[in-house]
Amino acid sequence: MATRADAVREIAALSEQLRRHAHLYYVLDAPELPDAEYDKLFQRLQQLEAEHPDLRTPDSPTQRVGGAVLDGFAKVRHKLPMLSIRTETDITAGGASAFDTRVRKELGLAPDAAPVEYVCELKFDGLAINLRYESGVLVQAATRGDGEIGEDVTQNIRTVQQIPLRLHGAAPPVVEVRGEVYMRRDDFEALNARQRDKIAAGQKNEKVFVNPRNAAAGAVRQLDPAIAADRPLSFFAYGLGEVSSPAEGGPDCPTQFDWLQQMHAWGFPVAAQTQRASGAEQLIAFHETIGRLRDTLPYDIDGVVYKVDSLELQRRLGFVSREPRWAVAHKYAAQEQVTEVQAIEVQVGRTGKLTPVAKLAPVFVGGVTVTNATLHNEDEARRKDVRVGDRVIVRRAGDVIPEVVGVLPESSARPDDQRGPVFTMPRRCPVCGSDALREEGEVDYRCTGGLYCAAQRKEAILHFAARRALDIEGLGDRLVEQLVDAVLIRVLPDLYRLGFTTLAGLDRMADKSAKNLVAALEASKKTTLARFLFGLGIRHVGESTAKDLASHFGRLDGIMNATEEELLEVHDVGPIVAKSLRTFFDQPHNREVVEQLRACGLNWPEGEPAARVPKPLAGKTFVITGTLPNLSRDEAKERLEAAGAKVAGSVSKKTDYVVAGAEAGSKLDKAQQLGVAVIDEAGMLEILQTTV
């Protein structure tokens, strides 16, 4: 047995060797050591750590094999939201040109101004992950979740060999690297081959995976890290979350491309196809080049991503509706396959919408096996003349619902007596028998049964319980179906009248599951007005609109009693949304549901309505730089925004004031160059005081 002093030195040397060789093998694809020699080094490190357990560190190469089985995933609130980016719907070269035109317009560039510099990246088909490093060591890995709150999957991510447990070289105090966990096609095929062997050997609970993305996402979300370690996962880095500023010891990277180079230097794989581009023409060239190479890549992509390279320009462009103006995803043409229509059925959605759905002979398209495809509505089904027995083209792109593109000519050319009947939407709901009506100017038929329609009840409950609404963990499709079919739930408030005994008596519901669901229901009673409003499933009211309504009115009663004119005063609420809200709250049974939910104990913080008078600093732009003596930047920003000011991230000629604290840097220099007024914290507070 090695002495402690010898063990310390040997463990350090072995760890460094193993990290280097793992990086050469998994990231650079340039191994220098035979597998057998690597295994010897690894086994020696395991032996030393077994002899001296206190010398085993979280970033040791031996800690990639997985840990204890988890009971569940802890929630993680992202320091900076993991926002989605806009998808360009024009898949032709015009999509790239349209993005460049929008960027130039937002920046106020003249037609003859120099082209904007971009970074072009691949759009991977995997699972987005946020990796947090403190003093260079991986301390947490979290999924995107709803963009604000994800799941802690650190133990599983430790098993991904391409993700460094310790950053190479100098590291800032804090950095969050974001990227995509994915599965290569060859690894996916090998995994499925092993799964087929297990199934053939009679092993239960094994399955063949549908596509690489689902296999990768399922591995990351395994409660047993040993299972995740057995799945061949890979990773590409492409973005950042929280990161220490240069003043705090972080790198000074002025562009997206510089950050990608820094990530690569820290030990992360960055797609080799990533490149800079100047103007729309080079964006188009990149899109076309990758399109030709797409099928030869060893992993799945569904498009490319363009980002403005300069971080300063990114700050100037900002965001719109939680999406950056400085980035866009440009997809490729959807994948298509041919199959046969075996039946046409009508599905009823949670809002009562009746949708014709073609039941198909199974076909593999867009990475999944498709058996259903939407026909959208009666007009569309008739326009395409889709009938039972026809051979049709089915399209699926990304996570978009598969659709029938059209009927093959040889099918549509058959005589009518050899084809199925022309589709006609039923005039009664196929679930509850209520009238199905089509409003003037609408293309869709809707069931009038409301919450009395079982189909709508199930979907309404699932929507209410969803993560972005009341977040009732454990209330899934099968359980909701049981509860509704057993007539244990007729309206939403019935959820909170369920007891342990009732739940434990259901099929496949163990005592522990029943207890957990009762606890989840109780926890969901404490929520926010925006989540509750979104959870009601009001037509046209999404998350963003619900937040705007909650902020504007402050109280639910204010929203429920607002006129259409008052609703139109809310940011981003137009006539359609206003009418939908008014129609919803004009129904007595909807108000009754709300009051019953309140009586069941649902509650949220409420405040006074937003002031209807102009705010004193409306139209003024402030920039905060440096460390203020008494207020944090967020506190200063909140005070300024409460007074109506806009707080920008960069200095320009349009800036009215720069609030400078200790160690103010380039923003202060630029303000002085442009002649922008510079004030300190006391000056800012004086302005706020005089505007009250």
Residues 126, 11 within the same domain: no
For the domain that residue 517 is a member of, what is the CATH number? 1.10.150.20
Please work out, in degrees rounded to the nearest 5, the angle formed at the alpha carbon of residue 454 by the alpha carbons of 448 and 457: 85
- Tens digits of residue pLDDT in 59-96: 787 766 544 545 678 899 999 988 888 888 788 889 99
Q: Assess whether pLDDT exceeds 80 at residue 559.
A: yes
Task: Work out how many domains the chain is built from and give that number.
Answer: 6
Residue 417, pLDDT score: 84
Judged by average pLDDT, the poorest of 284-293, 300-309, 603-612 is 603-612
Q: Which of 87, 64, 300 is nearest to 180 (CA)?
A: 300
Q: Are 144 and 82 in contact (CB under 8 A)?
A: yes
Q: Please report, for the domain that includes residue 634, its CATH number.
A: 3.40.50.10190
Q: Is 469:531 a contact under the CB 8 Å cutoff?
A: yes
CATH number at residue 201: 3.30.470.30
Decide the pairing of beta strands 323-324 and 319-320. Answer: antiparallel
101 within domain boundaries: no
Residue among 123, 331, 458, 667 flagged as catalytic:
123
pLDDT of residue 400: 65
Tell me: do 193 and 278 sit in the same domain.
yes
pLDDT at 611 over 80: no
Which of 507, 524, 541 is a domain's end point?
A: 524
pLDDT of residue 613: 58
Same domain, yes or no, for 210 and 290? Answer: yes
Task: Return the higher-pLDDT residue of 329 and 193.
Answer: 329
pLDDT value for 69: 47
pLDDT at 210: 66
Do 283 and 177 share a domain, yes or no? yes
The answer for 142, left when phi > 0, alpha when psi is -120 to 50, beta otherwise, is: beta
SS (H, E, C) 384-442: HCCCCCCEEEEEECCCCCCEEEEECHHHHCCCHHHCCCCCCCCCECCCCCCEEEECCCC
Looking at this protein, which amino acid is placed at residue 85?
I
User: What does the pLDDT read at residue 7?
Assistant: 82
Average pLDDT for residues 322-341, to the nearest whole number? 86
Do 255 and 142 reside in the same domain of the chain?
yes
pLDDT tens sequence across 15-34 = 888 878 777 765 565 667 67
Would 440 be classed as within a structural domain?
no
Task: Output 528 or 401, whichever has higher pLDDT.
Answer: 528
Is the pLDDT at 260 greater than 90? The verdict is yes
pTM over 0.75: no
pLDDT at 399: 52
**How open is the CA angle 681-686-691, to the nearest 5 degrees?**
130
Q: Do residues 163 and 291 both lie within one domain? A: yes
428 neighbors 436 (Cβ within 8 angstroms): yes
The pLDDT tens digits for 187-227 are: 988 998 888 888 777 777 777 776 788 788 888 888 888 88
Q: Is the pLDDT of residue 653 over 80?
A: yes
Residues 518 and 533 both lie in one domain: no
Q: Is the pLDDT of residue 381 over 70?
A: yes
246 and 368 share one domain: no
Domain with residue 391: its CATH number is: 2.40.50.140
Residue 436 lies in a domain: no
**pLDDT attached to residue 586:** 84
Q: What is the mean pLDDT of residues 551-580?
A: 87
Same-domain check for residues 570 and 588: yes
620 is catalytic: no
Tell me: pLDDT of 518 over 90: yes
Q: Which of 59-73, 352-366, 367-381, 514-528 comes out lowest in average pLDDT? A: 59-73
pLDDT tens-place string over residues 422-433: 999 999 899 888
State yes or no: pLDDT of 528 exceeds 90.
Answer: yes
What is the residue type of 617?
L
Question: Which among 479, 474, 429, 481 has a CA at the least distance from the CA of 457?
Answer: 481
- If asked whether residues 410 and 470 sit together in one domain, one would say no
pLDDT at res. 405: 84
Full domain range(s) for residue 653: 621-690
Question: Any idea what DSSP says for residue 333?
Answer: P
SS3 582: helix
Would you say residue 398 has pLDDT above 70? no
